């Protein structure tokens, strides 16, 4: 999502200064692509069904809780400090934008009240997920000074976790002295920093986002452009000490959602900076994913690209939804041949997730839209269940596809 800055001469001048200073600038051509009627028809049905489902979900959630998943016939909820807390209101706002159904808007706004205190939470790196995906979308649809202030304060809280020596924002908190852990997921929180610079005119947030992305690009990825999940940095030297994959099959495996985070994150970096090195990097990550011999023909990845395959191996609808959304965005910045390749994959994902194999029947699974996502199989957490972020990125992917028209 892109948010418009508050108008002022200073902020306009700042934006121009940042833009002029960027190396290897490349500006995308307007994508000339005709969306497929079959995909558009599926999306229209999905939006109708999502509206029905989310009204069911709305009526199930305790008023002081947020939805997390649905397991064994029971809704699992969270408090506002859970990393997924922003996805439910964000999805409601996306659906309101697409349907103009005020019931969805009202429910989304009610949930913002629960989330508001998290702007001061300096104990998590997930403020992008929590605040940008809720208040950020609300501010785009219903611009409001209080929303803008919450976004800026949240960015301040997130920036407090930045270490200049390491060049990254700390992800998980210390378990022992000297730990500085950074996970690939943290790329998704940088958009909050870009939006804070637009809203405040303070380039500090922009610079932290760029530094984090550059450090991640240099250290987090293998030669084939697959990504580790977790890096442990030495705070004295700023160098990585250990690379591992906690939520994947093994330390050297390509955990599917981690690859999706990287693709989405570096696509966003190019969208925000227009620095061509991020576009090139996002294209290489995309190539790793869509040409991977372990990617099933229906384009819905296994929970880890390198996990042993059998009919019982779990797929991850959440990773597929994130990949589809990222590929549609990435298509806008590339030449027609590559753009068409990306959109063809995204179309296959949307259509496959629209089948009964992955989409819940109305009234099923507590009101969630998608089924068959995997949180963390090694921790036996949220395995083969619906998840709020799967729904969020699926709706976002469909919204982005509709915007191709």
- Residues marked active site are found at 126, 185
Give the SS3 label for residue 216: helix
Structure tokens at 55: 């009204």
Closest CA to 252 of 279, 280, 230, 232: 230
Find the distance separating the first CA and the last CA of the chain, reported in whole Å: 17
CB 180 within 8 A of CB 234: yes
Question: Cα–Cα distance between 84 and 130 in angstroms, integer?
Answer: 6
SS3 (DSSP) at 95 = helix
Contacts of 233 by beta carbon, 8 Å cutoff, 6+ apart:
163, 166, 168, 180, 181, 182, 239, 240, 241
Burial of 305 (0-12, 13-18, 19+ CB in 10 A): buried
Q: 275 pairs with which residues across the strands?
A: 25
Element at 68 (helix H, strand E): strand 66-71
Q: What angle do CA 217, 396, 221 make, to 5 degrees?
A: 15
Contacts of 121 (CB under 8 A, 6+ apart): 81, 127, 130, 157
Half-sphere exposure of 383 toward its Cβ, with a 13 Å CA cutoff? 12
220/227 Cα distance (integer angstroms): 6
CB 76 within 8 A of CB 68: yes
Q: Rounded distance, CA 334 to CA 313, Å? A: 34
Phi, psi torsion values for 77, nearest 5 degrees: -115, 175
- How far is the C-alpha of 5 from the C-alpha of 171, rounded, in Å? 28
Q: Alpha-carbon distance 327 to 344, whole Å?
A: 9
**Which tokens sit at 230?**
């977790």
Query: How many other CB atoms are there within 10 angstroms of residue 116's CB atom?
Result: 18
């Amino acid at each position: 999502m892109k948010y418009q800055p508050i108008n002022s001469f200073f902020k306009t001048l700042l934006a121009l200064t940042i833009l002029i200073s960027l190396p290897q600038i490349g500006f995308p051509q307007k994508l000339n692509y005709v969306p497929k009627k079959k995909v558009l028809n599926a999306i229209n049905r999905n939006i109708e069904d999502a509206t029905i489902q989310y009204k069911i979900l709305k009526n199930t959630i305790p008023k002081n809780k947020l939805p997390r998943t649905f397991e064994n016939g029971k809704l699992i909820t969270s408090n506002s400090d859970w990393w997924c807390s922003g996805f439910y209101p964000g999805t409601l706002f996306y659906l309101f934008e697409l349907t103009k159904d005020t019931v969805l808007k009202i429910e989304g706004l009610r949930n913002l009240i629960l989330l508001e205190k998290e702007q001061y939470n300096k104990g998590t790196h997930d403020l992008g997920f929590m605040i940008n995906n809720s208040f950020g979308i609300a501010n785009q649809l219903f611009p409001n000074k209080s929303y803008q202030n919450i976004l800026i304060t949240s960015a301040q809280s997130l920036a407090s976790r930045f270490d200049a020596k390491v060049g990254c924002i700390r992800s998980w908190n210390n378990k022992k002295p000297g730990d500085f852990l950074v996970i690939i997921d943290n790329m998704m929180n940088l958009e909050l920093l870009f939006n804070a610079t637009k809203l405040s005119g303070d380039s500090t947030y922009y610079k932290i986002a760029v530094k984090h992305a550059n450090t991640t690009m240099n250290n987090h990825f293998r030669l084939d452009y697959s990504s580790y999940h977790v890096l442990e940095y030495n705070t004295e030297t700023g160098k990585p000490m250990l690379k591992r994959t906690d939520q994947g099959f093994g330390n050297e495996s390509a955990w599917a959602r981690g690859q999706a985070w990287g693709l989405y994150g570096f696509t966003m970096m190019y969208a925000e900076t227009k620095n061509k090195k991020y576009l090139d990097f996002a294209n290489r990550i995309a190539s790793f994913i869509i040409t991977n011999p372990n990617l099933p023909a229906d384009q819905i990845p296994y929970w880890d690209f390198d996990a042993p395959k059998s009919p019982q191996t779990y797929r991850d609808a959440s990773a597929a939804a994130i990949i589809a959304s990222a590929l549609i965005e990435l298509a806008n910045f590339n030449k027609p041949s590559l753009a068409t390749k990306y959109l063809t994959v995204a179309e296959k994902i949307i259509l496959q997730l629209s089948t009964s194999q992955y989409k819940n029947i109305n009234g099923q699974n507590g009101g969630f839209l998608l089924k068959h996502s995997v949180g963390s199989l090694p921790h036996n957490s949220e395995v083969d269940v619906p998840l709020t972020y799967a729904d969020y990125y699926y709706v976002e992917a469909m919204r982005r596809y509709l915007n191709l028209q």
